[in-house]
C-alpha cells in the first residue's frame, strides 16, 4: 500500500460478496476523500465446490473457514489490506495476526421464507419440500414443522431463490439480509425472525478484517464501526466459541441492546433432526459482551448442549 492512498479489499466473487465489498469500498471513499479502493476477487474452498453439502466438504472439521481461509491467507501474505466477510461465515477463532477492524451496522438478522404458492411457513401443506443449505435452518424448520420434507441445497442466492420461484421446491429459506442487499426482498413471503426463529451467529452483519498491526488501515476503518452491532455479535460469537461450535452446527443466537443500557443474548441449540431444542437467555452490561456469551454458553452446557452439538458434527 502506498501510504494510505490505496486499499485493496479481498472478496469472494458472488454477487452478494461483491455487493458487500462495494458497499464497504464506497463508505471508505466517502470517509476518506481521495482514497483509492480496489477489489481483489479470491475463490474459496466453499466457492470451488458448489454442489456438495457443506458438511461433506468440511469432512471431519466443523466446517469453519470454508468461505474465509483463502481470503485470510491473502491478508496475512500482504496481498490485500482488508477482507469483507459475511460475519456468520467467519470462524470465531482465527489467526492472532488478524483482527476485526470494523463491524458496520447490522442488517435484518432474520431468516426469510420464499414460498410463492403458500406464502407462510404455517400455511405450507404436510410433506411440502423446503430447501436450505444451513444445518441450523434445517433443524429449526424440522423443530417447527416436523411434517415438512426439508432438503439441503447449495448455490448462490439467485440459484437457491430460483428453485422456489420456478416451483421446483415449495419453498426455500435464505438470509433476509442477503435478499435486501441484492434488491430481492420483494420475493420474501414470510419473515422467520426472533423470538421463534433465532438467526445464525453474526447473521446480517459484515466483518471487515485486517492485520492486527496495520495501524493505518485500522484508522481508516474506524468510521465504519458500529459499536452496538459489535457488542451484540461479540456476545454471540463468544457463546459459539465457548461451546466450540462452528458455522456447521445447529446453534442460533440473537444479541441486541435493550432498555436499561443492557445487552441481551438469546441462544438456541438443536439436535440435527430438530427433535430437541435447548434455549438460554440472559442480559448483561454493555461493556462485557464476551462475558455474557460465556454465561449463556455455561447455562446451555448445563442443559446438555454438548450432547446435541456433538451429534451435529460431521464424522471424520
Q: Which residues are catalytic?
A: 89
142: left (phi over 0), alpha (psi -120 to 50) or beta: alpha
How far apart CA 268 and CA 298 sit, in angstroms, is 13
Spatial separation of the C-alpha atoms in residues 46 and 27, rounded to whole Å? 28
Q: DSSP letter string over 267-291?
A: EEEE-TTSS-EEEEEEEEETT-HHH
Q: Beta 6-11 vs 98-102: how paired, if at all? A: unpaired
Residue with cell 464476551: 290
Q: How far apart are CA 175 and CA 78, in angstroms?
A: 32
Strands 82-86 and 206-211: antiparallel
Q: From residue 164, how far is each of 52, 115, 132 by CA, in Å?
A: 19, 7, 11
Dihedral sign (CA 48, 52, 54, 59) = negative
Amino acid at each position: 500500500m502506498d501510504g494510505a492512498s490505496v486499499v485493496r479489499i479481498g472478496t469472494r466473487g458472488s454477487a452478494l460478496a461483491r455487493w458487500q465489498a462495494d458497499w464497504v469500498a464506497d463508505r471508505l471513499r466517502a470517509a476518506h476523500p481521495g482514497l483509492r479502493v480496489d477489489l481483489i476477487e479470491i475463490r474459496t474452498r466453499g466457492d470451488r465446490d458448489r454442489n456438495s453439502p457443506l458438511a461433506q466438504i468440511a469432512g471431519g472439521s466443523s466446517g469453519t473457514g470454508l468461505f474465509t481461509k483463502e481470503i485470510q491467507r491473502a491478508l496475512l501474505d500482504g496481498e490485500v489490506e482488508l477482507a469483507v466477510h459475511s460475519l456468520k461465515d467467519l470462524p470465531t477463532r482465527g489467526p492472532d495476526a488478524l483482527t476485526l477492524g470494523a463491524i458496520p451496522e447490522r442488517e435484518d438478522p432474520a431468516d426469510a421464507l420464499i414460498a410463492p404458492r403458500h406464502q407462510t411457513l404455517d400455511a405450507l401443506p404436510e410433506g411440502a419440500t423446503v430447501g436450505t443449505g444451513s444445518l441450523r435452518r434445517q433443524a429449526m424448520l424440522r423443530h417447527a414443522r416436523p411434517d415438512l420434507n426439508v432438503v439441503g441445497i447449495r448455490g448462490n442466492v439467485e440459484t437457491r431463490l430460483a428453485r422456489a420461484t420456478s416451483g421446483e421446491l415449495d419453498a426455500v429459506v435464505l438470509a433476509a439480509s442477503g435478499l435486501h442487499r441484492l434488491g430481492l426482498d420483494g420475493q420474501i413471503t414470510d419473515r422467520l425472525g426472533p423470538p421463534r426463529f433465532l438467526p445464525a451467529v453474526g447473521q446480517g452483519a459484515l466483518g471487515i478484517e485486517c492485520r492486527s498491526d496495520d495501524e493505518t488501515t485500522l484508522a481508516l476503518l474506524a468510521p465504519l464501526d458500529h459499536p452496538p452491532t459489535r457488542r451484540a455479535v461479540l456476545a454471540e460469537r463468544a457463546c459459539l466459541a465457548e461451546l466450540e461450535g462452528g458455522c456447521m452446527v445447529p446453534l442460533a443466537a440473537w444479541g441486541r441492546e435493550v432498555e436499561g443500557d443492557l445487552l441481551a443474548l438469546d441462544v438456541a441449540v438443536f439436535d440435527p433432526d430438530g427433535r430437541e431444542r435447548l434455549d438460554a437467555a440472559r442480559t448483561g452490561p454493555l461493556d462485557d459482551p464476551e462475558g455474557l456469551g460465556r454465561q449463556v454458553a455455561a447455562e446451555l452446557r448445563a442443559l446438555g448442549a454438548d450432547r446435541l452439538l456433538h451429534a451435529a458434527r460431521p464424522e471424520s
